[in-house]
Chains A and B, each alone.
Chain A
Amino acid sequence: MAIRQGLLALLSMGPRYGYQLRAEFEASTGATWPLNIGQVYTTLSRLERDGLVAPGEQDDQGRVVYSITEAGRTELERWLSTPVAPSDRPRDELVIKLAMAVTARADVRPVIQAQRTATMRALQELVRAKRVNGAGAAQLLVLESMIFRAEAEQRWLDHCEAVLTASPQTQETQT
């Protein structure tokens, strides 16, 4: 999870309170990644333990402002310059569904078409969100990432359909 590094990135712009970090984190990721305030403070105390951030004095309302340390900046730079490894994605139900449909010799084409239409509806929602004025640059990038993913899923469905339609093995089971 990149919450640690996300908070470091925000703190690299200047000292901030916990509640500010939460609001700015959500604004940057287009609310696709909601954080609760508890997560923010837990993460901050771990960052403090690791010497990556330093708390300031408590103000009269008992709030503490946090700053990034030199070690924190080094960690942020390391993170930004390191490519992300393909992680253990949660198992994709759609992939399993199609694989099982093929194995069980079910008619896969309606499965593909139903998914294609559903994914297209989701894609339409994403484009609608993108067209709304006032989305910030960071939010737009997050939306684009979801659009590219949905697009990749559509292309994969097209590919599956083309391959399965061409293969005699699956045609036997289709009327």
Chain B
Amino acid sequence: MSFDPVVRLADVTRVHGDGPQAVHALRGVSMEVAAGELVAVMGPSGSGKSTLLNLAGGLDRPTSGAVTVEGTPLTSLTAKELAALRRRHAGYVFQDLNLIPSLTAAENVMLPRELDGVRARQARREALAALAEVGLDEPDRFPDELSGGQRQRVAIARALAGERRLLLADEPTGALDTPTGDEVLRLLRARCDAGAAVLLVTHESRYAAWADRVVFLRDGEIADSTDAAPETAR
């Protein structure tokens, strides 16, 4: 494992709204994910898991504190620069996949790369490579023609195409049965072992257990982590 953090959050807070209605989604969270590391975030609903993921991927900005992706502090960036950095370095997998039904698997994977200015031929080459890597051999099928597990593979391939090595996954095992869910984690794990940094939000401990480190969030703060030395046995 390398000591090179792909993403780092330093004393990050996020407050939604202000005055008496203000909601403190995160209160001074510090953490980092290194290349080759899989970190899982668990916590009850409302504990700040998704806010944390959105901040780490530059989809949202902190109220205070700093987020650094691949050495670049996000606070200094304009909205346009932030969008470019996001597309270049970060991939997202969400529970509701967001695959476009009228595009084939390969076209879905190509889309963000084409938006980033990559030529269609190269984008297709990258897409086929990414799909082969996640073990999908039907690149020209439409999402409707694929099983839940296969669709999830497409979403992961889309998150990985190009040279992105930060992968953010929000409940990627959503409604999948446990063997298919395990298959998704096996893929994420393989990407990690190949040098990606993966931040996974899940409420299912069986999937969190695939991580190198599990962080427990509660009321916007890190309550505990499997990193810390075990305090006492049962």
- Please give the residue numbers on chain A whose beta carbons come within 8 Å of chain B beta carbons, in ascending order: 93-94, 97, 113-121, 123-124, 126-127, 131, 147-148, 150-151, 154-155, 158, 161-162
Interface centre among B214, B225, B228 (most CB of A within 10 A): B214
Within 8 A of A (CB), among B77-96: none
| Chain B residue nearest in CB terms to A114 | B231
Determine the chain B residues whose CB is within 8 A of the CB of A113 once the complex forms. 216, 218, 223-224
Check A121–B231 contact: CB distance below 8 A: no
Q: Are A120 and B205 in contact (CB under 8 A)?
A: yes
Whole-angstrom CA separation of A151 from B216 in the bound complex = 15
**Contact across chains for A93 and B234 when beta carbons are under 8 A apart:** yes
- A124 and B44 contact, CB distance less than 8 A: no
Does the CB pair A121–B226 fall under 8 Å? yes
Bound together, the chains give a CA A62 to CA B44 distance in angstroms of 63
CB <8 Å contact, A116 and B234: no
Q: Are B224 and A151 in contact (CB under 8 A)?
A: no
**How many B residues touch A, CB cutoff 8 Å?**
23
**Which residues on B sit within 8 Å (CB–CB) of A131?**
186, 189, 210
* Binding site secondary structure of chain A: helix
Q: Tell me, in angstroms, the Cα distance from A148 to B181 when the chains sit together.
A: 14
Q: Of residues 193 to 219 in B, which have CB atoms within 8 Å of A's CB atoms?
A: 204-206, 208-211, 214, 216, 218
- Measured CA separation A119–B233 after assembly (Å): 10
Q: Quick one: which of B130-186 are within 8 Å of A by CB? A: 186
Do A151 and B214 touch (CB < 8 A)?
A: no
Cα–Cα, bound, A120→B210 (Å): 10
Asked whether, in the complex, the Cβ of B205 is within 8 Å of the Cβ of A154, the reply is yes
Residue B76 interfacial (CB < 8 Å): no
| A121, A127, A161: most-surrounded residue (chain B CB, <10 A) | A127
> A121: which of B206, B216, B230 is its contact (CB, 8 Å)?
B230
Q: In the assembled complex, which residues on chain B have CB atoms less than 8 Å from the CB atom of A150?
A: 205-206, 209
**Do A151 and B205 form a contact, CB below 8 Å, given A121-B226, A131-B189?**
yes
User: Could you show 15 A-B contacts with beta carbons less than 8 Å apart?
Assistant: A93-B234, A97-B234, A113-B223, A115-B234, A116-B224, A120-B208, A120-B214, A120-B226, A123-B205, A123-B206, A124-B210, A124-B226, A127-B206, A131-B210, A158-B44
A124 contact set on B, CB distance < 8 A: 209-211, 214, 226
Complex A-B, nearest 7 residue pairs according to Cβ-Cβ distance, in ascending order? A123-B209, A154-B205, A127-B209, A124-B209, A151-B206, A117-B224, A120-B214
